[in-house]
Chains A and B, each alone.
Chain A
Amino acid sequence: MSLYVKHRQVVVPGELVAKGKFRAGQNVIRVGEDNFYATVIGSFELREKSVLAVRALRGPYIPRRGDKVIGQVVDISMGSWAIDIRSPYEATLPASKFPARINPVLDDIRKYLNVSEYVYAEIVEFDRVRSPTLDATLNREYGPIRRGLVITVEPTRVPRLIGKKGSMVQLLNKELGAKIVVAQNGYVWIRADDETVVNKTVQVIRKIESEAHVQGLTSKIEELLITLKNSDKAGINREDAGLEKQTKQSEVHDG
């Protein structure tokens, strides 16, 4: 039983992480009797004292049942929508799982959700034979996205943006006064009454994304939020504060 890498050390594919009586977890394979190798670039973790796992730093979004995702409608057929969820696999949302009663025979489902629109839903089915199927009826918050802003973040950064048990999202929601929904597939939906609040939120999210590796990020962001808040109270013009320097967003929805 010997480990060759430390907890949270960056490993590369083909790297020998351990020898001995372990179990291969995520992104680790066993070769021969007791050699364990990493299969992706990522940070190594020892779970439950004997499970070897590597948390991938890069890679596509792989759907899992129960994931809350935001997707974009790319095609419409008789009784369903085809949804792009930023994954190698295209998802389907059946008309029967839309949060409004639709009769696909009489009604044109296009009226409810058209191509290029966004929808928030849950993955209810996905395996080797079936492509991902969505359901937008399971929760009141699911459904078409008609207002606010949808931005994209690197899917591997999503856990950081959510924080421990959702601490980061809660902090942002509370301090910024915006409603933020972080979808598992790397879409972030921001709603606020004031456009400057939206811009500020985007700024903070970009900061989190680019500094995801910094330790104790939550407290650092907390400080940033307080300074932003104080600058507002002091009545500083937001344009002067340099907040207009936003990166161009991919999609804006108003209405």
Chain B
Amino acid sequence: MTEKQLLLSPEGLRIDGRRVDEMRKVKMQVGLLKNCSGSAYIEQGKTKIIVAVHGPREAHPKHLALPSRAILRTRYHMAPFSTSERKSPAPSRREIELTKVTREALEPALLLEEFPKTTIDVFIEVLQADAGTRSAGITAAALALAEAGVPMRDMVAAVAVGKLEGRLVLDLNEEEDEHGQADMPVAIMPNMNKITLLQLNGRLTRSELQEGLQLARKGIDDLYTMQKQALRSKFLDAESSVEEE
């Protein structure tokens, strides 16, 4: 135990030098793919994810279509080369679960009633995994959906909160995730102030949970600002594109 490296130094710095409430460096890009309705790319530290959205389009097989609204289909998938050990390309138990929670994190934000009998497909491909892939995937998926022109009540942004050496920290990296005491991914619709994803791995007290949510909210507000910026920079040239009827 004496050899064990502290995940949080007494000065309050983490192994990669970040403070407890500091996120990793984030980069977002919108509209980089051609053969889909919308796409986005996100880098959060060493985590790299690309997202493509198709639709709204006719649902196939037809029996899946709903008469009242569009269906949302997601796929969270990790590339075989995304981890240090090759990951089998077949969807694992974990990926199937993340596919489900991602869909449920995005669904409340979408106005699916506007496109009955259609489907909207979201493909999340993790290119490089360094913890926080589900949250970064959700953040990027919301961007890609917005670029596709799918009407949304609000954007969605997500980040994880963890616990290291008894203190709450924002946006875990791989090492912190593996050796830390807790990992809590949170997705929020920032303007509606609604939580759409909340998972917890490890233990937190009630007050820690409250505090953790506030910390996540802070990170999500920053992510939301970046999302807006990424979308705006893509569409800025359109500022006056519709001056004529």
The reply to whether the CB of A66 lies closer than 8 angstroms to some CB of chain B is no
Alpha-carbon separation in the docked complex, A164 to B244 (Å) = 6
Of chain B, the residue at the smallest CB distance from A58 is: B149
The reply to whether the CB of A1 lies closer than 8 angstroms to some CB of chain B is no
Greatest chain B CB density within 10 A among A14, A90, A218 is at: A14
Secondary structure class of chain A's binding surface, majority of residues: loop
**Given A29, A55, A57, which contacts B153 in the complex, CB threshold below 8 Å?**
A29
The minimal Cβ–Cβ distance linking B39 to chain A, given in whole angstroms, is 12
The reply to whether the CB of A8 lies closer than 8 angstroms to some CB of chain B is yes
The reply to whether the CB of B148 lies closer than 8 angstroms to some CB of chain A is yes
**Given B56, B147, B239, which contacts A9 in the complex, CB threshold below 8 Å?**
B239
Alpha-carbon separation in the docked complex, A61 to B227 (Å) = 25
B37 contacts A60, C-beta separation under 8 Å: yes
The reply to whether the CB of B155 lies closer than 8 angstroms to some CB of chain A is yes
A14 contacts B155, C-beta separation under 8 Å: yes
Of chain A, the residue at the smallest CB distance from B234 is: A41
The reply to whether the CB of B90 lies closer than 8 angstroms to some CB of chain A is no
B38 contacts A58, C-beta separation under 8 Å: yes
Chain A residue numbers with a CB within 8 Å of B115 are 88
B146 contacts A12, C-beta separation under 8 Å: yes
Given A37-B191, A60-B56, decide whether A27 and B151 contact each other with a Cβ distance below 8 A: yes
Greatest chain B CB density within 10 A among A9, A13, A160, A217 is at: A13
B232 contacts A43, C-beta separation under 8 Å: no
A88 contacts B118, C-beta separation under 8 Å: yes
- Number of A interface residues at 8 Å Cβ cutoff, please give it: 40
B192 contacts A31, C-beta separation under 8 Å: yes
- Number of B interface residues at 8 Å Cβ cutoff, please give it: 42
The reply to whether the CB of A204 lies closer than 8 angstroms to some CB of chain B is no
B151 contacts A213, C-beta separation under 8 Å: no
Flag A136-171 by CB within 8 Å of B: 1 or 0 each: 000000000000000000000101100111001000
The reply to whether the CB of B213 lies closer than 8 angstroms to some CB of chain A is no
Alpha-carbon separation in the docked complex, A212 to B57 (Å) = 26
Chain B residue numbers with a CB within 8 Å of A129 are 67
A14 contacts B153, C-beta separation under 8 Å: yes
Q: Which of A1-60 contact B (CB under 8 A)?
A: 8-10, 12-16, 27, 29, 31, 37, 39-41, 43, 55-60
**Residues of chain B whose beta carbon lies under 8 Å from any beta carbon of chain A:** 37-38, 55-58, 67, 109, 111, 115-118, 146-155, 189-192, 227-228, 231-232, 235-245
19 A-B pairs in the complex with CB atoms less than 8 angstroms apart: A9-B239, A10-B238, A12-B155, A12-B232, A13-B146, A13-B152, A13-B155, A27-B151, A37-B153, A39-B111, A40-B151, A43-B240, A57-B149, A88-B55, A88-B57, A88-B115, A89-B58, A128-B67, A212-B241
